[in-house]
Structure formats: structure tokens, C-alpha cells
Amino acid sequence: MAKPLYRRVLVKISGEALMGSAGFGLDPATVDRISKEIIDLRAQGVEVALVVGGGNIFRGVQVAASGIDRATGDYMGMLATVMNAMALGASIERHGETARVMSALEMPAICETFSRPKALRHFDQGHVMIFAAGTGNPFFTTDTAAALRAAEMRCEVLLKATNVDGVYTADPKKDPSARRYDRLSFDEALARDLKVMDAAAFALARENGIPIIVFSIHEPNSIVAAVMGTGRGTLVGA
Ligand code: UDP
């Protein structure tokens, strides 16, 4: 049986990944499916941190168009990520593992506020870490939060679970001749202007030498397969 290639990983789960086939919000069966994969990884001794997005509920840029200012919209988006984090945390605990939700914005009635020393302690104690509210700053994304927390928590890899099964030479929806990369260096991705993650996230991962694996969340067991190196996806590294 395949063995994990990494001991400590950060998984970025977009909000959209949590809504399943519904157009909005949380699909409990999808949340449970993802939680079970996290639990499988824990059973293999892998330490798992999660950063969740909020796009299934709210995105700052969407409201900016309706007259609410962008920063306010972004704070609303960050609140959406907290709801997703709570749902994932509850599901992971229901399936028998302990999870700790930490928010970049203070909301002590609901969850702990992010503190790196505390987060490292929880992590060392074997809890699944779930980082909510992104970076805590408007004008950023949860991709950037994922790269930031991966660096802070000394994760060996950033797993970007998304809607596509990797990085392509062109948009596969528009260009039928688009090819998927199995491997790609940070420099090649930059030189070819390939969108792996947003620029801030990409720069953080590159500077800290944290490889990124881009893969589809829609494939069954794709998170586990990415950690084992047996899945379909693109590895972006040094
Ligand atoms: N957001 C933010 N700062 C952050 C992370 C997120 O302002 O550090 C806001 C932003 O409005 C964003 C929303 O939260 O649109 C949801 O995050 P994101 O779009 O990254 O979620 P995903 O696309 O992964 O579901």
C-alpha cells in the first residue's frame, strides 16, 4: 500500500468545494466526505491543517458591485469562511478526530483566535487544525491565507483542492488542445503566466519553498491520493 509522502500538510478547500452540486451553501454529504478523507490521513499519521474558503456563501468582490465597499464585503467573506470552518470541524469531530478551529479575526464566543504558538501546540498534540477568516485582512484571499499558514505551521506541502485536476497549458474549457502538467517548476509557472494560485499566495509558497499540488476535489479520495503521490494533479515545486 502507498505510504504518505508528507508528514505535515496544509489543505486549501475552496468554499465551492463544500457546496456539492447545490448552487449555494453547504452540502452535508460533501462536508462529511471531505472530513472522512482528513480522518484517513490522520490514521496514517499525517498532520493536517485546513484553510477553508467562503465562496459558497459570500465573496467580497460580488458585493462591491452592489454599492457596499470592497473592504466591508471582504469582511463578510471572511465571516463566511468561519461558518465553513465550523461545519468542517464539527464533521471531523463527529467522525472521531479532534479538530481546533482558529480564526484570524477575534470571535471568542465561537472559536479560538489564531495565535501561532497555540496553533503549533495544538498541531503537535495531534488535532486537525482549521484556519478560518483567511488572513484577517480585506483585499486578500484564502489562497494567500493557505500559503501563509502553511509557512507558519511548517507544512511540507500545500494541497490545493479545486474544481480542475491540475494546471493546464491553456483553459481546458476553452481550448480542447490544452495539456495538463504533471510537474511544473515555480519559475516555469511564472514564465508561462500559468495561474496556479493568486500572485500573493504563489509568491509566499515560492519564497518559502513549499510545493503546491493542484488537484480536483471532485475525484473520490483525491486528498488522500495527493498526499500518497498516487493522484492525478500538478505538482508545482522548486
Ligand atoms: N477574504 C478576505 N481576506 C482573506 C481571505 C478571504 O477578505 O484573507 C474574503 C474575500 O472577500 C473572499 C472571501 O473572503 O472573496 C472568501 O474567500 P475566497 O474567495 O478566497 O474563498 P474561495 O474562493 O476559496 O471559496
Under a CB-based contact definition with an 8 Å cutoff, are residues 117 and 129 in contact?
Answer: no
pLDDT at 1 over 90: no
d(CA 40, CA 199): 32
Neighbouring C-alpha atoms within 13 Å toward the C-beta of 206: 16
Q: Is residue 48 part of a domain?
A: yes
pTM: 0.97
Check the annotation: does 74 bind a ligand: yes
Q: Is residue 2 part of a domain?
A: no
Domain that holds residue 123: 8-237
Q: Is residue 110 part of a domain?
A: yes
User: What pLDDT was estimated at residue 172?
Assistant: 87
* Residue-wise pLDDT tens digits, 153-174: 999 999 999 989 999 999 888 9
* Residue-wise pLDDT tens digits, 22-34: 889 999 999 999 9
* Residue-wise pLDDT tens digits, 102-126: 999 999 999 999 999 999 999 999 9
* Residue-wise pLDDT tens digits, 81-103: 999 999 999 999 999 999 999 99
Element (H, E) at 122: helix 116-124
Q: Which CATH number characterizes residue 171's domain?
A: 3.40.1160.10
Q: Is 105 in the pocket of ligand 1 (CB under 6 A)?
A: no
Domain count, the chain: 1
Nine-digit cell at 178?
490544452
- Mean pLDDT within 198-216: 97
Q: Is residue 83 part of a domain?
A: yes
Q: Is residue 1 part of a domain?
A: no
Check the annotation: does 171 bind a ligand: yes
Torsion of CA 33, 219, 8, 83, to 10 degrees: -40
State in Å: Cα 63 to ligand 1 middle. 12
Q: Is residue 17 part of a domain?
A: yes
Interface TM-score (ipTM) > 0.90: yes
pLDDT at 4 over 90: yes
